[in-house]
Structure 1
């Protein structure tokens, strides 16, 4: 009778796959806690009254905060266009530079305009009247390595520094972005303020359960195969 051998290869492969599944599950749990933190921060900010940009940035937690801003000539300022999608509709976002009293610049997203609307705001080089508006401060996501490079003043990914440079800004540029929440150019058909929703979808608990569930299934399959191998009659 030949001696039954422990399935070393099967065990090694199972342990490796199990480690990957558990790691993916743990990663989704970490993402769950991160997303819950964002949602909590958004909810707290929603209850806070608008404040000046300087005050909000100095608070140390500007994400999602509402601000009151004044930008000279923002409604006629030069802008770059950013390819974007809103509720499944492709279009563009118009982004301009807003100089600050300390010599820095904050980029302002003036709103979204869907494809099919040809009108654009008039650009004027000379300073116009100050324009007051309400905005929401948001961080800028890192560009993907797959994002196409800009074509002049047409961008495919948000980049505060590059956008400011395309608009001729030479001083320091804030890493934060302000989305206009009130109309900057109500006279331009199709252009409207568009602040990305703070209520992000949070499906990470389900994803984590899926990965951990697959890990349990893998363990069950391994145990079943191991028992079958060890209880099978030995070859004569």
Structure 2
């Protein structure tokens, strides 16, 4: 084999090997992430427990709880969009229970609909504790005065409604609210891009191999043209 071909061939093989290994690593990460998501899904759907006296965001994220109390009349509106439904609001109200006030994500209403008054009697809420991370660099600041929120900023909502910085996301109510559709916690908001990353690396490996082959072919053609 000519030395002029050997060097690009070595670079080509090395590049393909590196890209294939990166793709394999992403496949391994995909299997790991799917296991993590399965564990989270099982945790979310487990039997509910009482609201802990001391709540810790890291420990209690997604914790299924059952809370009995009265839903306050005040409602914050968080912009959200639902597939095949369109724009609307998540409705966030205070929930008073056993001398405590926490935030309650009641669910979704269409942007054109009025927010219904909550049940007058005490209700039992089954849901999950959640501290959503929804704010991006492009997310506008919440319009507190106009009651248009662009992210569920727990600390700010708790300050406005006078509650603990604890959010219960409704899964089921003992007395369902007419006109409000619960948006329970699930794993759909947890990113899992490892498959697309793996496809990208494997595709680059194929492209690298093809470019190496084409480069060597051009070199051979040039050499033949000089002889």
Q: TM-score, normalised by structure 2?
A: 0.71
Q: Deviations over 1:151-204 (max 9, x none)?
A: 12210112101222232x2x7524xx31112238746x4213221434679874
Larger deviation: 54-63 or 189-198? 54-63
For structure 1, the residue ranges without an aligned partner over 5 or more in a row are: none
Query: What CA distance in whole angstroms lies between the structure 2 residues aligned with 1:137 and 1:101?
Result: 17
Task: State the partner residue of 1:154.
Answer: 148
- Picking from 148, 159, 162, the partner of 1:165 is 159
Task: State the partner residue of 2:196.
Answer: 207
Task: State the partner residue of 2:92.
Answer: 95
Task: State the partner residue of 1:183.
Answer: 173
The DSSP-based 3-state class of the residue aligned with 1:218 is helix
Q: Is the 8 A contact 1:26 1:208 kept in 2?
A: no
Q: Quick one: structure 1 residues 184 and 99, their matched pair in 2 at CA, closer, same or farther if it must change by over 3 Å? A: same
Q: Write out aligned runs for 1:59-98 (5 A).
A: 61-71=59-69, 73-74=70-71, 76-89=72-85, 90-98=87-95
Q: Residue 49 of structure 1: CA displacement?
A: 1.9
Query: What CA distance in whole angstroms lies between the structure 1 residues aligned with 2:105 and 2:164?
Result: 18
Query: What CA distance in whole angstroms lies between the structure 1 residues aligned with 2:92 and 2:187?
Result: 20
Query: What CA distance in whole angstroms lies between the structure 2 residues aligned with 1:45 and 1:69?
Result: 16
Q: Is the 8 A contact 2:23 2:199 kept in 1?
A: no
Q: Residue 50 of structure 1: CA displacement?
A: 1.4
Query: What CA distance in whole angstroms lies between the structure 1 residues aligned with 2:24 and 2:112?
Result: 44
Query: What CA distance in whole angstroms lies between the structure 2 residues aligned with 1:140 and 1:24?
Result: 31
Q: What is the aligned residue count?
A: 217
Q: TM-score, normalised by structure 1?
A: 0.69
Q: Is the 8 A contact 1:25 1:207 kept in 2?
A: no
Q: Quick one: structure 1 residues 42 and 223, their matched pair in 2 at CA, closer, same or farther if it must change by over 3 Å? A: same
* Cα RMSD for the two superposed structures: 4.2
Q: Deviations over 1:70-128 (max 9, x none)?
A: 33x31x3322110112233221111123467697x5322011112332243269xxxx8
- Picking from 107, 118, 121, the partner of 2:117 is 121
For structure 2, the residue ranges without an aligned partner over 5 or more in a row are: none
Q: Quick one: structure 1 residues 108 and 28, their matched pair in 2 at CA, closer, same or farther if it must change by over 3 Å? A: farther
